[in-house]
Amino acid sequence: EAGVAQSPRYKIIEKRQSVAFWCNPISGHATLYWYQQILGQGPKLLIQFQNNGVVDDSQLPKDRFSAERLKGVDSTLKIQPAKLEDSAVYLCASTQGGEKLFFGSGTQLSVL
């Protein structure tokens, strides 16, 4: 069974630039999550999708972050414009509706 796929693995940008991350969840998993993990901290939920609808985006900085999950499969997370404090690993996870989450390897973002 293929796992959660994320790309790119690494991204380096300058502040005020825009960036996008892609996630393809495990086939058949209806629920998809984006987490942000700042160095030395635990992951923090940014947004949760159920199929192509948003369930929870209460911690998403909506002035600069956006996410979509068209057709209820893969998802894109965008930051525009990026700030220095956005440097982090962005993790995508999915679940079939149970409680065990499967995580991708993440995208490491450095904002200079």
Partner 1 sequence: KQEVTQIPAALSVPEGENLVLNCSFTDSAIYNLQWFRQDPGKGLTSLLLIQSSQREQTSGRLNASLDKSSGRSTLYIAASQPGDSATYLCAVGGGSTLGRLYFGRGTQLTVWP
What does the binding site for partner 1 look like in residue numbers (CB under 8 A)?
4, 31, 33, 40-45, 48, 55-56, 91, 93, 95, 99-106, 108
Q: How far is the CB of 27 from partner 1 (least distance, A)?
A: 17
Taking the C-alpha atoms of residue 33 and residue 101, their distance in angstroms, rounded to an integer, is: 9
Taking the C-alpha atoms of residue 71 and residue 87, their distance in angstroms, rounded to an integer, is: 29
Q: Please, are residues 3 and 95 in contact by the beta-carbon 8 Å criterion?
A: no
Nearer to partner 1, 3 or 85 (CB): 3
Taking the C-alpha atoms of residue 87 and residue 95, their distance in angstroms, rounded to an integer, is: 26
User: What tokens were used for 44?
Assistant: 């923090």
Q: How far is the CB of 41 from partner 1 (least distance, A)?
A: 6
Nearer to partner 1, 41 or 63 (CB): 41
Q: How far is the CB of 40 from partner 1 (least distance, A)?
A: 7
Nearer to partner 1, 61 or 102 (CB): 102
Taking the C-alpha atoms of residue 95 and residue 89, their distance in angstroms, rounded to an integer, is: 20
The percent of the chain in helix, strand and coil, each rounded to the nearest 5, is 5, 50, 45
Nearer to partner 1, 79 or 93 (CB): 93
Q: How far is the CB of 16 from partner 1 (least distance, A)?
A: 27
